């Protein structure tokens, strides 16, 4: 349950302990906020044979294990068939639920990306929600709450899933065995725990950080060295659009750290492993120059999303960051 958010967990806990479990829940929030995890927790809590403390699944009984492996006969999953969830998928679900539960009188269905239901599918589901079969629970999952029909929303108990704060994500990464220095840096780049763990253990990410620091250092020398470094190191490592964007974010964080040192707010530094180098560089630049360079990076990020040629974009950025007269 390490990815389940405290507020969402409290709502589920109270519903179970007070015997007020709704027949339909809607888990909504951005990617990486743990919607599937809490949906799985709710399913296990409904079918677990030996609940702990009255609401927590034991994780070791037959039902918990089968739910973890996705093969419990009374639990059904609906996902988009191609780009959408179609009426036929909801009708098949209704037919299945008209039957008696295979092992109990309880049944549960989860609809992932519920916002991708066609109008006909949504209308079919609405009828299902209005007249639920006894012992039936529905869990709808969405990243686009505004795309859900108001009539469906009104029949569900909504559980909002908010992004993890950088501080909480940092603690979770450290609890997962990630080095404290790396945990702090990665927690500033994403609020998705799964993504953060992947990056923290990825050699590509470690190398990316080194290249970004090297780029900043050659920027202080000559335009020729910086352009050479782009060709020899940067473009060979940051190949895809998402990777380039991540590289720009790393460069932005490095400059922010320099500014934090100049402002005396060193507790905010995220590149902890580069502290001595940061302190040295902070003495050799001005706050105005740094803010100008950060503005240039943000402008490059916007251009990247507008599909500007990555090579031209980076070459332009390097030249802007070397124009000391613009930032002094």
Number of domains the chain is built from: 2
Q: Are 73 and 144 contained in the same domain?
A: yes
Residues 6+ apart with CB under 8 A from 262: 282, 287, 290
- The residues pairing with 140 across neighbouring beta strands, listed in sequence order, are 26, 111
Tell me the C-alpha distance between 8 and 52, whole Å.
18
User: What sign for the dihedral angle of Cα 264, 267, 271, 272?
Assistant: positive
Q: Hunting for tokens 């034991």 — which residue is that?
A: 58
For the CA atoms of 182, 184, 188, 194, the dihedral, rounded to the nearest 10 degrees, stands at 60
Within a domain: residue 180? no
Report the CATH number at residue 214.
1.20.272.10
Kindly list the distances between the CA atom of residue 255 and the CA atoms of 35, 119, 182, 228, in Å, as whole numbers in the listed order: 34, 48, 17, 22
Please state whether the predicted TM-score (pTM) of the whole model is above 0.95. Answer: no
Nearest to 90 by CA among 63, 61, 52, 128: 128
CATH code: domain of residue 133: 3.40.50.300
Containing domain of residue 275, as a range? 202-321
Same domain (yes/no): 55, 133: yes
Same domain, 148 and 206: no
Domain limit, last residue, from 126, 160, 194: 160
Query: How far apart, in Å, are the Cα atoms of 55 and each of 39, 44, 161, 178, 252?
Result: 14, 10, 20, 30, 45
E strand intervals along 72-208 = 75-78, 107-112, 136-142, 157-160
Beta bridge partner(s), residue 56 = 52
* Pair 134, 40 in one domain: yes
Q: Which residues of the chain have pLDDT under 50?
A: 1-2, 325-328
Asked if residue 207 and residue 132 are part of one domain, the reply reads: no
Strand (E) positions, the chain?
24-28, 75-78, 107-112, 136-142, 157-160
Same domain for 315 and 225? yes
Per-residue pLDDT tens digits for 7-22: 778 888 888 888 888 8
């Amino acid at each position: 349950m390490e990815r389940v958010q405290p507020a969402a967990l409290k709502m589920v806990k109270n519903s179970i302990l007070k015997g007020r479990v709704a027949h339909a829940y809607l888990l909504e929030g951005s990617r990486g906020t743990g919607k599937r995890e809490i949906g799985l927790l709710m399913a296990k809590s409904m079918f677990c044979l030996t609940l702990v403390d009255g609401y927590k699944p034991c994780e070791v009984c037959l039902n918990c294990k089968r739910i973890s492996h996705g093969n419990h006969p009374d639990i059904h999953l609906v996902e988009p068939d191609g780009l959408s969830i179609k009426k036929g998928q909801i009708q098949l679900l209704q037919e299945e639920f008209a039957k008696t539960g295979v092992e109990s009188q309880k049944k549960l269905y989860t609809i992932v990306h519920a916002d991708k239901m066609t109008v006909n599918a949504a209308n079919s589901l609405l009828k299902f929600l209005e007249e639920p079969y006894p012992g039936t629970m529905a869990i709808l999952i969405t990243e686009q709450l505004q795309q859900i029909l108001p009539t469906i929303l009104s029949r569900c108990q909504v559980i909002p899933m908010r992004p993890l704060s950088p501080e909480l994500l940092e603690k979770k990464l450290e609890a997962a065995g990630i080095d404290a220095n790396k945990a702090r840096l990665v927690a500033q780049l994403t609020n998705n725990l799964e993504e953060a763990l992947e990056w923290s253990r990825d050699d590509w990410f470690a190398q990316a950080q080194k290249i970004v620091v090297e780029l900043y250092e050659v920027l202080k020398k000559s335009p020729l060295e910086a352009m050479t470094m782009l060709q020899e190191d940067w473009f060979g490592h940051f190949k895809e659009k998402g990777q380039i964007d991540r590289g720009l974010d790393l460069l932005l964080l490095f400059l922010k750290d320099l500014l934090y040192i100049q402002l005396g707010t060193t507790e905010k530094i995220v590149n902890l492993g580069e502290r001595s180098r940061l302190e040295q560089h902070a003495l050799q630049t001005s706050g105005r120059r740094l803010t100008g360079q950060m503005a240039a990076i943000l402008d490059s990020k916007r251009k990247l999303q507008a599909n500007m040629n990555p090579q031209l974009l980076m070459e332009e950025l390097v030249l802007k960051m070397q124009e000391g007269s613009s930032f002094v």
